[in-house]
Structure 1
Amino acid sequence: TIPPEILRFSENIGNFALVIKGEPGSGKTIFSLQYIAEQSEKKSGIYFSTRVDIDSLYSQFPWIKESIPPENIVDATQSILPKKMEVPQFIKFSSLPEFLKGLYTAIEEKRTEKFSPIVVVDSIDAVASSVGLPVEDVCAKIIDVAKGAEVGVIIITERTERTALDYICDGVVTFKRKLIDERLFRELVIEKLRGVEIENPIYYFTLHGGKFRYFDEFRPIELTTFIHEPHPPVRDGKGTKFYEKNMFSTGSKIIDKIVGGYKRGSFVFLEVTGEVPPEFIVENIAGVPVENFLMQDRGVIIVPCKGLSPLYFFEFYAALVGREKVQKNCKIIIPSEDKDVEKRFPWLVYTSYRVDHFVNTVNSIINEFKREKEDNVLLFLCFDKIESDFGSRGAEKIAMKIISRVKFEKDLCIGTAFPSTKIDVKLREAADYFFKTFGKKGRVFIYGVSPPTVIYNANIDFSRPHPTLYFTPIT
């Protein structure tokens, strides 16, 4: 849960001084509590709370009751009200020398032959306010005590600008809250860690469940090493609750909880921005309903994305549901100018670069699937490729004709595009469900515009026999 650079810094430096900066609500307190919790096995972390009393901490973060022993938390709040609960460690101070004496006493009480404690002061601003001295002076004195006692100290401050603290301390970490499309997004920025190589200066994280957690890079499924074990589909046909509500499952129980499924006859639009790997388009919100349709032996029609071959799509879904189901239930369409092109694969359908021929080919496959299966059809269309092949006018005509039929016949269409795609605005207007996805330093995020949702980090869980997409909300 703690970035490895920060752990190496605290282990290598020993009696270090680390300042953690950030506005209120940016995650500083939760992070420092988790840091203390990780030190609890050594019984060597001390948390000095100068703003929030102990019972409030336990109320806000119930998990710390089991993770941090009460004797490792020092109540340094200066409230005149009586404490609601007894605390093993409590200091009252009106001057800096009194606070430093309490700090030193707590350090010596927790020191053992094997371990020296690490101290968190949350926050330095509250101590400075209580003793009536500048923050920089108070910080320097606390560091002097910590260095003299040969312990590490983490100092929390709500100052975000560059100050003398940045030069006094050995390390500087800043917590940031941002808004992306009016949705919360969180960053941890490592400004300085003396003596440690900073491999990743920025970590994106969540405080979901009252805990700090940073996100890993997105890992696509490696088809060459993956041995599939199909999992049961989320059934949404006759006799199911989805069918009674006139809905399809998204194919993921997690996404179903977020959006409730997709109404029959819907167009689901996924706009891809930033550094999103092309595999994510196939393997995330667009991929799971395709897998779910294939597992229920329904027809699926795919127009591949630019940069990904039809064979990749086939092999990917074959790895998840088996080659037989893909061959029986899926058709992948690509335009070709070669009239004599060899039909090497029964699942691959060639069409010309004429708009009417392309639309007729799609309609013909839909009709064939419906005659054979007497069930709904899913279309997964990558409009960046369609626009590249047919131009913006042709792509718009194709989109409107196919989406109109899907809505009329209560099927499902999932489309993807980029903001640079010229028909992007038209696709937004036609969408019943609209999601945006973006990437940052190998991490992938997604949120709903319609219906509106928070931002989620998306990744794949490989710990199970079947790789499973999971979303973590940024809260």
Structure 2
Amino acid sequence: MEVLTGLEKRAGKRPGRPENDTNSSRRTAAHIPYELLEFVRRDTYSLLVKGYAGAGKTTLSLTILRTLKIKNNFFYISTRLSPKQLFVYYPWLGRYVDIVPNQDETPPLASSSHRIGYNLSSFEDARLDEPESLFERITNQLMDVKAPIIIIDSWDAIASFMDKEARLNNERVLQTWRERAGAKLIFISENPTDTTLDFLVDGIVELNQKLHDGMRIREIALTKLRGIQIRKPSYIYTLNKGIFQSYNPYDPSDFMFSDSYNNNNINSNINQTERLRRGSPIHTPSPMQDHHVPSGFEQLDEALGGGFPKKGIVLLETQSNIHAKITLTILAGIISNILRNDNPVLIEASGGIDAKVIMSYLRPYLPTEQKKDLVKILCTGTNDELPSDPTMSQYQNVGNSEKQIQYFRDMMVKTRRNYPNKLLVNVLGTAMCRRIHQFNEANGTDLLPFISATADLTLLAVRQHHSTELNLSEMADVQLHLTSISGTLVLHSVKPETHPYAVVTDRSAGYPALRLESLV
């Protein structure tokens, strides 16, 4: 309880943070890990980027240029792709380095067949070059250009033509000239087991891919960053849209509200476009709308074929070490998207989350205060749990599971009758799932047909071990996993299978707005 209080006190300090807040600094670091960013900001260094084919080494090196805002005074040596191919595979690169076509040429973002005659002097096509001539051009760059950044992609292709003694000598020469010129030198290697350069370079990062519960997860390991304290040795990352993007460990306080932070002070007049820009889930019309209920997370809806299936059951399984209020924040985004279209929602208050807390998480997402009347909260605890404002929801205290099940059924029927032409959505926790399971076993009946016939969508939010215990995955049409990987929150649909998404928070609006970013 003391930990929760501390988190909520931190949340109450929003929207601003102290300027010397280390965690805040890490979050503002663009694209690459905080420690690596500190390293590449140095005046001179040598960095070795290791990884097998497809790990994203080229993407990382180009993203470093972008992160450092280096648009000139660099030399990119490519032994695998022509410079023109780079601009095809990385469309943002042409816009970033301001490649200007010759007169009457097609704009830089046109198809590869029209990319002829561009000023690509910073990019060297070294696919057919001899090592000696290429090595000479590198040393000339180090001698003639003031403090350049040179990227050799890849060093393996050049070194493979040298014998061991010549390679070691040339690597020492490059390091010496790099230091004298005050330059930055990035080697790319496709052979992580080769340690020849390890003792010479100032920094080593290795890009890996691994399977985690059926998900392909990319991870960058910070093996060596001379002079930099490595607080976190690894981060997960994505190559989405041809840009390297790593993710910091999530901060639980980013998902918290507190009594000291008055939700009523949040600007409730944020228009729809601004909410979307800030990452708040929002309903997007879809041609599949008649058969699906949009979650509000556009990428997830697209992967699911339009959203959650109508009359379906969606199971959200959460890893046991993730706080219940983080799950509530994700649910709040989904629920608010449903409420925007004046659809009623039945929510079970359970797991230590009472009605007051639920409403405090929902209110910032709602465009009008009147929307709260659409929320019906089922509370089956003691009278002490009842809020001072009983009009915000409907409550009932009942003594045993059978009566609680009956009340739940009655509430569904009543709400359906009051809103005949609207979607009816249930949000249930572990307690109600357990009661339904026990009721079915004791009475030899199945409540699911009744629930599916009455409600348009049922969301089950439970801990993963409880889901296994109650066999909930067997009844689910959509099965989502919320887990923490290397400190990053990851959402993944197991049924149907989709690629995973990093869960990213944005508190610029004064409340935790969420967005999903594809981990590809």
TM-score category, normalised to shorter length = 0.7 to 0.9
Q: Give yes or no for contact 2:211–2:217 (8 Å, CA) kept in 1.
A: yes
Aligned to 1:76: none
Superposition pairs of residues 26-37 of structure 1, within 5 angstroms = 26-37=55-66
Q: Give yes or no for contact 2:79–2:125 (8 Å, CA) kept in 1.
A: no
For normalisation by structure 1, the TM-score amounts to: 0.82
Identify if the C-alpha distance between structure 1 residues 62 and 295 changes in structure 2 by more than 3 Å, giving closer, same or farther: closer
Partner amino acid for 1:364? D
Superposition pairs of residues 10-89 of structure 1, within 5 angstroms = 10-12=40-42, 14-39=43-68, 41=70, 43-68=72-97, 88=121, 89=124
Aligned to 2:8: none
Superposition pairs of residues 386-401 of structure 1, within 5 angstroms = 386=432, 393=438, 401=446
Does residue 100 (structure 1) correspond to residue 135 (structure 2)? The answer is yes
Q: Give yes or no for contact 1:351–1:361 (8 Å, CA) kept in 2.
A: no
For the residues of structure 2 that align with 1:425 and 1:341, how far apart are their CA atoms?
Answer: 27
For the residues of structure 2 that align with 1:423 and 1:180, how far apart are their CA atoms?
Answer: 18
Q: Give yes or no for contact 1:436–1:448 (8 Å, CA) kept in 2.
A: yes
C-alpha deviation, 1:410, in angstroms: 4.8
Identify which of 350, 353, 356 aligns with 1:311: 356
C-alpha deviation, 1:253, in angstroms: 4.0
Identify if the C-alpha distance between structure 1 residues 34 and 109 changes in structure 2 by more than 3 Å, giving closer, same or farther: farther
Q: Give yes or no for contact 2:151–2:186 (8 Å, CA) kept in 1.
A: yes
Q: Note the alpha carbon deviations across 1:142-181, whole angstroms, 9 max, x for none.
A: 3233224332211111222372432222111111112234
Aligned to 1:229: 268
Structure 1 gaps, min length 5: 72-82
Identify if the C-alpha distance between structure 1 residues 144 and 108 changes in structure 2 by more than 3 Å, giving closer, same or farther: closer
Superposition pairs of residues 255-270 of structure 1, within 5 angstroms = 255-259=300-304, 260-270=306-316
Aligned to 2:453: 408
For the residues of structure 1 that align with 2:412 and 2:209, how far apart are their CA atoms?
Answer: 47
- Number of residues paired by the alignment? 448
193-202 or 345-354, larger mean C-alpha shift: 345-354
Aligned to 2:423: 376
C-alpha deviation, 1:469, in angstroms: 3.0
For the residues of structure 1 that align with 2:349 and 2:355, how far apart are their CA atoms?
Answer: 6
Q: Aligned to 1:301, what secondary structure does the other structure show? A: strand
Superposition pairs of residues 456-471 of structure 1, within 5 angstroms = 456-463=501-508, 468-471=513-516
Q: Give yes or no for contact 1:235–1:296 (8 Å, CA) kept in 2.
A: no
Aligned to 1:74: none
Q: Note the alpha carbon deviations across 1:241-279, whole angstroms, 9 max, x for none.
A: 556x33322244443323212222111111112643323
Q: Aligned to 2:91, what secondary structure does the other structure show? A: coil
Identify if the C-alpha distance between structure 1 residues 38 and 109 changes in structure 2 by more than 3 Å, giving closer, same or farther: farther
Identify if the C-alpha distance between structure 1 residues 95 and 454 changes in structure 2 by more than 3 Å, giving closer, same or farther: closer
Aligned to 2:242: 210
C-alpha deviation, 1:24, in angstroms: 1.0
303-312 or 219-228, larger mean C-alpha shift: 219-228
Aligned to 1:78: none
Identify if the C-alpha distance between structure 1 residues 247 and 316 changes in structure 2 by more than 3 Å, giving closer, same or farther: same
For the residues of structure 2 that align with 1:22 and 1:450, how far apart are their CA atoms?
Answer: 31
461-470 or 27-36, larger mean C-alpha shift: 461-470
Pairwise CA RMSD of aligned residues? 3.4
C-alpha deviation, 1:283, in angstroms: 2.1
Does residue 8 (structure 1) correspond to residue 64 (structure 2)? The answer is no
269-278 or 170-179, larger mean C-alpha shift: 269-278
Q: Give yes or no for contact 2:206–2:221 (8 Å, CA) kept in 1.
A: yes
For the residues of structure 2 that align with 1:290 and 1:253, how far apart are their CA atoms?
Answer: 15
Q: Give yes or no for contact 1:208–1:473 (8 Å, CA) kept in 2.
A: yes
Does residue 119 (structure 1) correspond to residue 150 (structure 2)? The answer is yes
Identify if the C-alpha distance between structure 1 residues 442 and 394 changes in structure 2 by more than 3 Å, giving closer, same or farther: farther
Superposition pairs of residues 309-388 of structure 1, within 5 angstroms = 309-321=354-366, 322-326=368-372, 328-336=373-381, 344-346=388-390, 347=393, 349-374=395-420, 375-383=422-430, 385-386=431-432
Identify if the C-alpha distance between structure 1 residues 368 and 70 changes in structure 2 by more than 3 Å, giving closer, same or farther: closer
For the residues of structure 1 that align with 2:187 and 2:320, how far apart are their CA atoms?
Answer: 35
Q: Give yes or no for contact 1:37–1:45 (8 Å, CA) kept in 2.
A: no
Q: Give yes or no for contact 1:43–1:110 (8 Å, CA) kept in 2.
A: no
Q: Give yes or no for contact 2:425–2:455 (8 Å, CA) kept in 1.
A: no
Aligned to 2:187: 155
60-69 or 130-139, larger mean C-alpha shift: 130-139
Q: Aligned to 2:466, what secondary structure does the other structure show? A: coil
Partner amino acid for 1:380? V
Q: Aligned to 2:465, what secondary structure does the other structure show? A: coil
Question: Matched residues, percent identical?
Answer: 21
Q: Note the alpha carbon deviations across 1:315-344, whole angstroms, 9 max, x for none.
A: 111232255432x22222233366x98674
Q: Aligned to 2:426, what secondary structure does the other structure show? A: strand
